[in-house]
Structure 1
Amino acid sequence: MAYEARYVFKPNPGADLAAVMKAMEQGAALWRKHGAQSPRLWAITAGELGNYVLSVQFENALAFAQVVDPLSADPEFRAWQARNAEAGHIAWVRSNHARELDLGG
């Protein structure tokens, strides 16, 4: 079973897009620090134009928990979150967690 976490955000009007990309690179590095193998950044090009998605895939929910629990407790991650809030470059739209279901085929 695959498990995916998706964090949807939108740059605020007038935001420095280079600063946004740098912040997402730093965020992905923090995920990797705690064992995530595949953080990816997506630009939405249809539907919710202007949104971006940081996605992270795992084998299952247990593998997710083994990464996200220490990540959430990491002072460096908390400082990264605080810097993003203070900079005001992005607004989080939503977070989605998806679990792949077997269709038996």
Structure 2
Amino acid sequence: MPAVLALHGRFGARGLRVIGVSSFDPDDAEAERKAAEEATREEKMDYATYLDTNGTWSKTAGLVDIPAFALLGPDGRVLLRHRGKLALGAEAYAEMERAIERALPASPR
């Protein structure tokens, strides 16, 4: 979570919106909701988290691994996908930063 929070903090003012998506089986909806709320508090996630019944949205977006990350453009198109952990200082993190830089408008002056 530190990498995601860092991206959110760095690019939020320029329009980056971070959301969390947690896939779950409908039979476990209440337990999954509670687990998501607990993780949100523990990790100090200050962005929205959605529950994705049966992973429907995640599968459509091509995010079948856990964890997985996607950068969506303003039109909802997937600009970049990353499978696996996203860690500060890793090449995948730098790649995500570069993709965000290209996708967002220039910094306000």
Alignment TM class, shorter chain as reference: 0.3 to 0.5
Query: Going by fraction, where is strand more abundant, 1 or 2?
Result: 1
Q: Taking structure 2 as the reference length, what is the TM-score of the superposition?
A: 0.35
Larger relative contact order (CA 8 Å, sep ≥ 6): 1
